[in-house]
Structure 1
Amino acid sequence: MTSRSNSRRSASAQIGNLGTDGPWLPASATAVLVITGSLALQSEVGRVAGAAAVELVIAETVEQSGGRWDGIAAILIGSDRSGTLPGWRGPTVVVGPPEDTAQMWRQATRLGADRVAVLPDSAQWLANYLTRLREPDVGGRVVGVIGGCGGAGATTLAALLAAASAARGTRSLLVDGDAWGGGLDSAVAGGDAPGLRWPDLFNASGAINPEQLAAALPKMGEMSLLSWAPTNVEASASRRDAAAATREVIRAARDAFGLVVVDLGRSSDSVANLGVHCDGFLLVVPGRLPAAVAAANVRSALPLAPVGLVVRGPLVEGVDAELVAAAVGVACVGVFPQLRKVGDMLEEGQLYEVAVGRKMRRMIDSVLAWMSGGAENIYAYGQAGVP
């Protein structure tokens, strides 16, 4: 077992309390262990670990690692290795090249792994994940919300989740990820709130101070909002590289807020630019099987990160949330209750009243429990429909 710091080390005692930080966070320890005999995969993981500034320990086989996990925060096991991890209860990520994707899903199911990371495609996500090893208590979580089909209610869920989180005392930010949506602020009666929008941030230069960002954004009660302006999108975005600007904004937002909720819209550009920065995704699907089929296609296009399903009622006869979840291939983490004219209520400024209301409380509790690791039988990509 070798280290990237060129020192040799061996683990000396099993850690029994790993894996308790929740499904989106690795445990706090000193090093990441990668188990693979592939030099190419070792090199790929090495670059990711370097970007995350975490120590990497390499073992070519499970046997070489000795099955001793002292000081190991997470295990990355290569698709070329079929062994089990006796006694390990911490975060586990199956890593491998694109041609091994189907095998990796099966391997993850067998191991009960938390994640699947196809490299190099998911290198950015894996680097973000491992970065949390260095600073587990610094920076908030970023969740992307996307509809499995048009009109699923993703914007409504994103707004309610951010508002409910803020009402519970977490510093929360709602982000508009759809440049062509006309401005999320208008959907939640925040169009007149003073503060910066995306075009202003695209025109900025240099690093963004997290606290200055938080102070400059529009606020709706306890929730902050980052929306697109309704006009001049192309001109503003062209002033600065979109990917670099987005990366800097999300970095600052993560440092300033405990929870960042991104309404991704249904644009592939939005998913590509913002989705890579999300720690996980909520996929909203109406309670109909045709919608579930469409949602399965959306799910396959998301960056590799935990995905939870929110089923929106009403459910048609003969269909329940579990059936929808099985059709999509993602575990259900909440059921969106029927609420008449909820969109109108949000536009009329009743966001907080709806978010903290009795009908929404159960769904919000369930979603937040999944995000913090409290929901039963849910890990990373869910239990159903593993490719």
Structure 2
Amino acid sequence: MTEGRPWLPVSGRAGLALVTSSQRIRDETARVAAAAGLELTVATTLPEARQLHPAALLVGSDSAAHGSVADGELILVGLSGEDSAVWQTATRFNASQVALLPAAAGWLVERLAGLRARGPRGHVLGVMGCSGGVGASSLSCWLALAAARSGRSCLLLDGDCAGGGLDLALSESLSGIRWEDLGEVSGTLNPDQLMDALPVVSGVSVLAMGGSPATEAGILGSSAVKSVLDAVRSGFDLTIADLPSGWPWGGPLLSFCDELVLLVPGRRRPIAVAHSIVQQTQFLPVGLVARGPFGEGLDSHRVAELVGGPLTGHLPQLRGVATAERQGRLLAMGKQRPVRVLTAQALATVPFRTAEPRP
């Protein structure tokens, strides 16, 4: 949605991220990446590399030796002849796999070539309100509906453990798995099996919270999330993540998002909060949706100017939203013209992969 962050990857590209300051490790890894048919991006820090959402994350032994313990799947890349030191680093750094180059180049090429066969990766768009109760969950649902109506596969992802279950706003009864059913997931999750197990309403697949908030809060902070998000990116063209407001901004799923839509009421205090959020989420492109009614001297463009971000669109005050949510008819509100105009604007610049239809 915004420009000026050239290090962000092109959506849907199966790429590699490498964290190293060693020119030799960089050169050896680049040869492997080229042989595997994958683009390599070199990052200076592990957090920066994770924000690229690469198909595989590699860390040079030189960087891992001075870093903290890793909390996710990655490949430690070292140099042949330094076996003992590299393996000691791998144990301390909690690396899932080790490749000593150039000796292990053949194995690593085969390992990485399998990632390219997965095809393009889906896009994850986070939606968040600058404070609670401003309508971010409603906007998430309407964006998901608009994406589904455009013919793309779309997942509505509930990222708010305290939200009571986003599925209840869509239907009084949806059968399928919830977050609480995925607590034991580890390793690779089959995307097709996940898609088939999820409830679907109006063409939108939904992964919502169930009846155990404490359990789900643990899930969103666990390693299961990465497995789920990897499967989600493989299975869906677009995922709309409904994120919680308040500190810490966006909750655990924010770091998995490629972009963020921030809903901002047209009043001075929410505008100040939104400005702070934009400053603290500079690692993501952020688009602002100004919500009416507006205070004195304010309009959507003035709101965006004060917040300090690009304006995506305007959401007017709509009657009947609360009632529709209570009755499980929130998606029906998404067919109103002001909502359709806004969702079209919000999705216009979101890259969609071109996916082959499922058999």
TM-score interval, normalised by the smaller of the two chains: 0.5 to 0.7
Question: Residue 214 of structure 2 aligns to which amino acid in structure 1?
Answer: E
In structure 1, what is the Cα distance between the partners aligned to 2:117 and 2:267? 42
One of 48, 53, 64 as aligned partner of 1:122: 48
Change (3 A) 1:138 1:28: closer
Which 10-residue stretch deviates more, 195-204 or 294-303? Answer: 294-303
Where do 1:226-265 residues align within 5 Å? 226-231=207-212, 233-235=213-215, 242-265=221-244
Specify every segment of 5 or more residues in structure 2 that has no aligned partner in the other structure, as ranges: 58-114, 353-359
Residue identity over aligned pairs, in percent, reads 33
Give the letter aligned to residue 126 of structure 1: L
Task: Supply the AA of the counterpart residue of 1:244.
Answer: S
Aligned partner of residue 162 in structure 1, secondary structure: helix
DSSP-derived class of the 2:263 partner: strand
Q: CA 1:152 to 1:124, structure 2 compared with 1: closer, same or farther past 3 Å?
A: same
**CA offsets per residue over residues 74-129 of structure 1, 9 Å max, x none?**
998xxxxxxxxxxxxxxxxxx77xxxxxxxxxxxxxxxxxxxxxx44332112439
Aligned residue in 2 for 1:379: none
Is the counterpart of residue 278 in structure 1 residue 278 in structure 2?
no
2:318 aligned counterpart, secondary structure = coil
Residue among 155, 164, 176 paired with 1:195: 176
- TM-score by length of structure 1 reads 0.63
- How many corresponding residue pairs? 289
Q: Match of 1:366?
A: 345
Looking at structure 2, the residues matched to 212 and 28 of structure 1 have their Cα atoms a distance apart, in angstroms, of 21
**Aligned with residue 149 of structure 1, among 123, 131, 147:** 131
Q: CA deviation at 1:301?
A: 3.3
* CA offsets 1:313-338 (integer angstroms, 9 cap, x no match): 11223101121112211101111122
Aligned in 2, Cα 1:315/1:129: closer, same or farther, shift over 3 Å?
Answer: farther
Q: Secondary structure at the match of 1:152?
A: coil
Q: How far did residue 174 of structure 1 move?
A: 0.6
SS of residue paired to 1:364: helix
- Determine helix, strand or coil for the equivalent of 1:323: helix
Partner residue in 2 for 1:161: 143
Answer whether contact 2:14 2:121 (CA < 8 A) is retained.
no
Residue 314 and residue 120 in structure 1: after superposition, are their counterparts in 2 closer, same or farther (change >3 A)? same
SS, match of residue 348 in structure 2: helix
Residues 291 and 74 (structure 1), Cα distance of their counterparts in 2 relative to 1, 3 Å cut: farther
Please, which runs of 5 or more residues in structure 1 have no aligned partner? 1-18, 57-70, 77-94, 97-118, 374-387
- 1:25 Cα deviation from its structure 2 partner: 5.4
Conserved 8 A contact 1:144-1:263: yes
Alignment of 1:1-387 (within 5 A): 26=10, 40=21, 54=33, 119-128=45-54, 138-190=120-172, 192-231=173-212, 233-235=213-215, 242-266=221-245, 268=247, 271-302=250-281, 304-372=283-351
Deviates more, 1:196-205 or 1:246-255: 196-205
Pair 1:314–1:255, CA change in 2 (3 A): same
- Cα distance between partner residues in 2 of 1:209 and 1:40: 35
Task: Please list the CA deviations of residues 203-254 of structure 1 after superposition, one character each: whole Å capped at 9, or x if unmatched.
Answer: 33442110110111111121111111133x334665x794310111111111
SS of the aligned residue for 1:271 comes to: coil
Deviation at residue 348 of structure 1 after TM alignment: 2.4
Distance 1:322 1:212, change over 3 A: same
What's the CA shift for 1:168?
2.0
Corresponding residue SS for 1:371? coil
TM-score calculated relative to the size of structure 2: 0.68
Q: Provide Cα deviations, 1:164-213, integer angstroms capped at 9, x if missing partner.
A: 211221111111101122111123335x2111110101133442110110
Distance 1:213 1:130, change over 3 A: closer
Q: For residues 105-159 of structure 1, give each alpha carbon's deviation from its aligned partner in whole angstroms, at most 9, with x where no partner exists.
A: xxxxxxxxxxxxxx4433211243999x968961211011111122221111101
Partner of 1:100: none
Q: Distance in 2 between matches of 1:129 and 1:330?
A: 29
